[in-house]
Structure 1
């Protein structure tokens, strides 16, 4: 293969890793989610200048066509990434449900306290009116 292709793929790996690091730095991507992306970027950087590694891995696993092993590894990597995102999504869904329930209970409590607060002035107003009537009767 042409050495320029290896250089271009190496530069793509560098750019990808730099982009992930930048996204972490500006807080667009959290570290726990970025670990898999950083691992993928490092793998791209390592495999680009040394394509013989893929050939040796293919012969170790008895794969006749080395790029097919690369596709298999990429597919497995995507599966792990999807599983990781599904776990994170499930966790966040549970937290949202709990927060929604807590918020509903707090809103109900606030409404009850407001109703009690509205009842108190009415009671005082009724008592004041009754006192005024008693004072009028006393005269």
Structure 2
């Protein structure tokens, strides 16, 4: 009985933690839904231990613990595969965005070069040294 209560308390704590992660936007809904369903399954097996025996008989496993261990391994495998696909798609998206940023930087540099070529050059020689300039009357005094 104590083990059942402990399992229920742990599962309720997990649901509260998942809801907190959802509220703070640190986990997306699609991931939280899977974890909440798994938590509910653990609570159901904790409250109704006969369910584990029934499932093990249905599948043909001798002990429910072996069935639960195999199911846990399958769940972890599914989570690893799902996270690997997410990481792969994010990696591809990051590469695409980096390429787009590089192309935009190139366009900006080329545009700046064209604009600088079209601007008139500022004459940096002092006015007295420019050819064709006559000294002013005030400068002569």
Give the TM-score taking structure 1 as reference length: 0.83
Greater share of helix residues, 1 or 2? Answer: 1
Which consecutive aligned stretches of 4+ in structure 1 deviate over 3 angstroms post-superposition? Answer: 123-126
Matched, 1:20 2:40: no
The 2-side partners of 1:93 and 1:34 are apart by: 22
Tell me, which stretches of 5 or more residues in structure 1 are unaligned?
Answer: 127-131
Partner of 1:129: none
- The Cα of 1:107 is off from its aligned counterpart by 0.6
Aligned-pair RMSD on alpha carbons? Answer: 1.7
- The Cα of 1:119 is off from its aligned counterpart by 1.9
Partner of 2:49: 51
- The Cα of 1:60 is off from its aligned counterpart by 1.2
Higher RCO (CA 8 Å, separation ≥ 6 residues): 1
Tell me, which stretches of 5 or more residues in structure 2 are unaligned?
Answer: 124-129, 134-141
Matched, 1:35 2:33: yes
The 2-side partners of 1:27 and 1:68 are apart by: 36
Structure possessing the higher radius of gyration over alpha carbons: 2
Asked whether the 8 Å contact 1:36–1:81 carries over to 2, the reply is no
